Structure 1
């Protein structure tokens, strides 16, 4: 026992000595650092460090030319470096900074820029190149353009958008006894620099062998390549300032501005007993990074395939090293939390277990990956999500920090930015732009005058033709902008007059007046409301000829509703099919946007499966409803030139008419399919939890197979008659698709079938039905069937069931009279159910009355 204690003491002592050695090495590195205040010969203190003027004596720094010293008395920002940024060095010719007495090794080089006006220089027009020991860092660099680009990006992501300065950070190899940083303005322009940092890097900051995404480990030869630090995030925590990262004075941003959906991950904190998994990791990141983390929100409710996602703007045609920082803050054992890591929509690691990799709980650990961004893309996606195939106890993922580094290629880190500054470099270009501006101005005046004249004439005609309304300025997008909708409603050849107005000779149908809509809905009587969604309300009404209709009235305050309305008009103007809900007409008077649809007497398919006291649908009726919906979707996918993807297939968007014929409805999220030379449509993720294709969610690449996946969920919902997401159930039953797939893989789907169907379905038909649903839910879209194939198999399932029913009837010696009595009894029960159903106006509608399960990712 004593020997074990002594051994631990010796080990502890050695570990202490190693830690002391590392910190001594850090201290020596700091003593060899340069912190340069450009544009002055005086020194100052900023952010806890002493910054020496670039013309101060005894600094081991020389300038090729004094250039221009510039200064300002005030700055607009609130940076810790404000005092440092009040001076700068401007140059119109090449300028070199030579640092002498630098040992061989790697160095962090930070260049600080804060544009302020000086004399005749317009900093917005500055453009210059920078190189270090022959390695090109930037080309045609415009500081103001990059700051504006970054601010717009952060503002669009809900982040801070008031930055007035910029720091470019590089990690550069120095093989000679010195470092030369060269600044070269573009011809006719100038450049400037506010401050510089040169800090030695401990050799253990990077390892040369790194896991390549989608392949084996590769050797990066980092000792001979330059590296640019693109992003550095403290995931799940507050910003960490440079003064809080004393090793290398790095700043760690908050991650929310880069997340696709910030509330997809919730924050957790633990600041006790966190240590590094390896003493060599002590300079990789401060412990503050590992004291916070982000885990998946509602991980026991959402599908296992939903991920936490971060998106970054990067430069195309470069290799990127992605460093992920982890620390298990909750679980005490291995395999309690395992997950997958995706980089650019490819699996970088699966079955990843932080506890096992780091060697325990509260152990700070990092993992590096390298991937190439091709010349066709300028974004980098990083996603973490549960591994559905793993056996971990928790469907979750965790991340504490994230860094993205760009690696040099062929001695170059430079990339000409996408922004184009407004600056001009010569009188010739100014003269050219002047004449272009004059020409454009004249053309604009002519164009505006023509448009105004056209609009005035159009409005005059509208006033003459509208007898019961005054001129009103609509907040809606005018319907005549849609090529498929014509505005001609008066005395057009082929049009017919009605009591309330006229019928336009278009595919959209009748243009209703607002007074006609009010009459049809009893002035929008609330008792006639049959559905409510994000767009507004749906009323039951009757047209002037007594035809029942569903009248969808948009809420002008709903931007999402307006967008969906426009999409629905566009789609329905192209579509006509027995299994698609058709539009009778529309109204766009007095700031209203109203669509009128055929009335579906039996409401949504979901209301006949669960959640109401309606009589249950028979197995045959359920099959027929699925076949009808499949026919409608098959028509969408194949009826148009490029096909149409519904994007929101669910049982509340499958409606039943008075004869229980199923029709697809609600095309507000629909998208035109990809062109012939494309395989998918790149778009933001929209849909409903429980039905969403996980491949579409991960890649933001929409295909017709995304509808197939959603339809597979519908098929299981039809069998089990329960909600697709029910958080009140036991954990393994919350998600219908996963729960049903477990039983289907065991070929035991009858175990979870709707109890009301027991004894009234063909076992063989149920078996085939389950196989179809299983194929629809395949993980990869390319392995799923088309809707045409699904339709064919469903029709075969119906034939199996009908053959079984005939055989069952024959085997049980049903007489014709008994069979007739049974049919009559079922018809009476169904009629009673329909009567009860029609008395409950809020349980049916043209759209999903429960819009809380819909979400959007942008």
Structure 2
């Protein structure tokens, strides 16, 4: 009997606890205002008070505009009583709500009603709330049209939007909510209804897990920032009206139309008996959200690479909080359903077990993630898929609800819809579209006339040149302002077409006859490389001396600028770890460059894709060190330095002794001047190696080379392509795949199998740390090339110590000393001094000079280097 009493008492207390929680929630403050009238209407179970009604606790500024109404209504009949009226204003208008200091949802309703004398299609205005800019140059009909145009297929087939609801989250610290409407110059604004609904402090936590980077926490800082609701989806179920979310009166849309493949997730027939484990969760989402669910279909197909994917259009350049709602409705034990979560193509969570996290079956649970969108991306991907690395019985995914919130930046949530012109710049406001069309037509006419004149002039000039010189082709180098040195070492300085002297460039000037002889008249069997500029031939340029002969294709303009850049760069640079330019040929409209021959080809050819024997771990370290020395010289060898811009394993060449040398300087750029931090330039480089910060901002720095070199390091240790679309989705990009294992201190799991037993575990660990630092999201967090070089040399020392130890030798003193030195540098942040062997290739006689200083080679020095015996 006592047991029954205790059980009944416990149930009673439990019910009282929940009833108290619900009663507290039900007492939340809310204002629901029907704009443009003094009367009230009942909509969705609530009484909406007219903004002109007495005693509504809302203050309107003066002048308050006009009260407008319409007899024409084509929208949702549920909202017809509310949307038949609106307030229209041609001057600034404020709504002031007296509220306690709390968190609130502010909802603004816009229905483009038809009113004599006002064309809402020409209405543009801005809105602020407590100083937070919500919208700028806002045109409600235009946004409604865009929303309908982008409406998912399943929704577009059944309905279309006739009104617009915009929802914002505000944290109030001044006992007042002031909503300010400001029409654009010469225009007007309107608003149909306003809601201010108290949220409380249990809906959002300030600390949220950040997607990407180191996966650490990110602060929402909602006390100073606002949020805009972008999406609120009931996954696997029907739409939910505000009346069925009676705590916060939210609208939940269907999710199926936003899925890439709706058939990827099925809706099980299981009826969930959901109960909240914590009464605080009642405000997070209504039970209806957790009672509907979508489960991954056929998780075993395609080698477990099948995902449920939602594609959501968002505004670029903002941070977004993604909230995922879960409730396990099938499995009654942990480790039975484990999956992965990807946000914006980045791993948000591995080994995700809803049952374990929620604490049981039919228990609601939600997880928040913070993600930053680049300024060039307007698509947010949410993907859930199997995690085949786990030992769980089920690897399919599950999801019940999805919300996306945009966070303000610098007090601004506004995003003006833009059109991109041919120059890539943004032109705001749909109002200027017609002006743009007119200007575009005029521009096309002018451009067409200009091109006709240019074409006629070029054709005439070409005909004159053909009559004088024969077949068309490259202009001789001196016409581009280049100066040459002949075989005897004397320099000839030509004037360019502008009458200015060209820059002095040194090297042997080969005759075309010599080039043809060296390449057996450009024998195809001697081709060792092909690029946009043309082909590279192996040729004998002296008695037993081999060279790499790059011949530009006379029939193509591709690569001309890069070709000239390479001449300019290599004729000024000389370093043991940079491929040397020996000379050139510019006869008979040919443009040919001659380099030192690199007998062992590219680093990539020794890593994968060929039958060459694999490189040892020590060889790979020496090659990476050599490449780092070459790049360090580029970055520091002149006042402004040089940024390579195309660092990759195919541009690291190996000579007969496997000495690494950087090659291909066609995309290189001189670094920024002292008063600048970067070089603004169009994005160029190789996919997979490209610095994401450079890609987003078009701001090139030396740290862009550091990122690319970090990819090279991972490619060297893993011996696989940096982009391989045939692999599972999470493995396609080597940088992302390797970083994941590196952060788990498990890089050896994806190590090149040929290295097994050939490396020091400690050296591999340090090597992985260097690569990870190189791939930091922000350039300022990456090391300099000097620091990378120093740490690579330390890794080599660790490997040599390990090899000697395995051979029975003792050599721990140097390792200990260097290890202590490295820790000192890490703590102080100072860059170590880099010892270099540049003197081996330098003709400098002043030993007091830094071997990493820049050196422009003179004609006499070059002629000594370029005797027939070669370098």
> What does residue 428 of structure 1 align with?
none
Once the two structures are superposed, the pairs formed by residues 31-180 of structure 1 within 5 Å of their partners are 34=32, 36=34, 66-69=66-69, 88-92=86-90, 108-115=105-112, 120-121=117-118, 123=120, 126-128=123-125, 135=130, 141-144=136-139, 166-170=164-168
Deviation at 1:284, TM superposition (A): 2.0
For structure 2, the residue ranges without an aligned partner over 5 or more in a row are 211-215, 306-310, 418-426, 485-491, 496-501, 509-514, 810-871
Q: Deviations over 1:647-690 (max 9, x none)?
A: 6644344233567553435678877766656767899998666x
| Counterpart-to-counterpart distance in 2, 1:466 and 1:545 | 31
**1:823 aligns to what?**
none
Residue correspondence of structure 1 range 201-350 to structure 2 within 5 A: 201=198, 203=200, 206=203, 229-234=228-233, 242=241, 246-247=245-246, 248-251=249-252, 273=272, 275=274, 276-286=276-286, 288=289, 291=293, 322=321, 324-327=323-326, 333=334
Does structure 1 conserve the Cα–Cα contact (< 8 Å) formed by 2:144 and 2:163? Answer: no
Q: Once the 2 structures are TM-superposed, how far is the Cα of residue 191 of structure 1 from its aligned partner?
A: 1.8
The answer to whether the 8 Å contact 2:338/2:396 transfers is: yes
Q: Secondary structure at the match of 1:632?
A: helix
Structure 1 contact 147–166 (Cα < 8 Å) conserved: no
Residues 244 and 486 (structure 1 numbering): CA distance in 2 closer, same or farther, change over 3 Å?
A: farther
| Pairing of 1:9-28 with structure 2 (within 5 A) | none
Moved more, 357-366 or 279-288: 357-366
Alignment partners' CA distance in 2, 1:595 and 1:146: 61
* TM-score for both structures, normalised by structure 1: 0.54
Alpha-carbon distance between aligned partners in 2 of 1:396 and 1:677, rounded to the nearest angstrom: 55
Task: Give CA deviations for 1:730-780 in whole Å, capped at 9, x if unaligned.
Answer: x99x9677879999999x99997737x97xxxx9xx799658635523547
- TM-superposed CA distance for 1:192, in Å, is 1.6
Return closer, same or farther for 1:506/1:54 CA change in 2, 3 Å cut-off. Answer: farther
Cα 1:521–1:209 change in 2 (3 A) is: same
Q: Does the residue aligned with 2:601 lie in a helix, a strand or coil? A: coil
Q: Which runs of 5+ in 1 are unaligned?
A: 303-307, 425-432, 473-477, 497-503, 511-516, 588-593, 812-858
Please say if 1:198 is aligned against 2:195: yes
Could you say which residue in structure 2 is the equivalent of 1:777?
771
Aligned-partner SS, 1:404 = strand
Q: Give the SS at the match of 2:653.
A: strand
State the 1:74 CA deviation: 7.3
Give the aligned partner of residue 401 of structure 1.
402
Residue by residue over 1:481-540, the C-alpha shift from the partner in whole angstroms, topping out at 9 and shown as x without a partner, is x99967999xxx9789xxxxxxx9998999xxxxxx99x9999999999779xx989856
Task: Name the SS for the 2:610 alignment partner.
Answer: coil
Q: CA deviation at 1:645?
A: 4.9
Structure 1 Cα separation of the partners of residues 796 and 66 of structure 2: 88
Let me know the Cα RMSD of the aligned residues: 8.3
Quickly say closer, same or farther: Cα 1:737–1:613, change in 2 above 3 A.
farther
Aligned counterparts of 1:723 and 1:310: Cα–Cα separation in 2: 31
- Mark the CA change 1:658 to 1:698 in structure 2 (over 3 Å): closer, same or farther: same
Change (3 A) 1:396 1:88: same
Alpha-carbon separation, structure 1, partners of 2:110 and 2:568: 54
Per-residue CA deviations over 1:574-614 (Å, capped at 9, x if unaligned) read: 45556556899999xxxxxx998968664332333455333
Q: Distance in 2 between matches of 1:179 and 1:618?
A: 68
- What secondary structure, in the 3-state scheme, does the structure 1 residue paired with 2:630 have? helix
Q: Equivalents in 2 of 1:408, 1:694: separation in Å? A: 21
- The alignment partner of 1:249 has SS state of coil
In the TM superposition, residue 143 of structure 1 has moved relative to its aligned partner by: 2.0
Distance 2:722 2:92 in 1: 66
Distance, in Å, in 2 between the alignment partners of 1:234 and 1:586 is 66
Name the SS of the counterpart of 2:139 in structure 1: helix
> Superposed, which structure 2 residues align to 1:619-768 within 5 Å?
625-639=623-637, 642-643=640-641, 645-646=643-644, 649-656=647-654, 660=658, 662-665=660-663, 676=674, 704=702, 707-708=705-706, 711=709, 714=712, 754=755
TM-aligned CA distance change 1:241 to 1:120, over 3 Å:
same
Match of 1:814 in 2: none
1:766-845 to structure 2, matched below 5 A, reads 773-774=767-768, 776-779=770-773, 786-788=784-786, 790-791=788-789
Structure of higher RCO (CA pairs closer than 8 Å, 6+ residues apart):
1
Deviations 1:301-330 (A, max 9, x none): 99xxxxx99985578xxxx99573453769
User: Paired residues, what number?
Assistant: 717
Deviation at 1:69, TM superposition (A): 3.7
Task: Answer with 567-576 or 332-341: which moved more.
Answer: 332-341
Cα deviation, residue 385, structure 1: 13
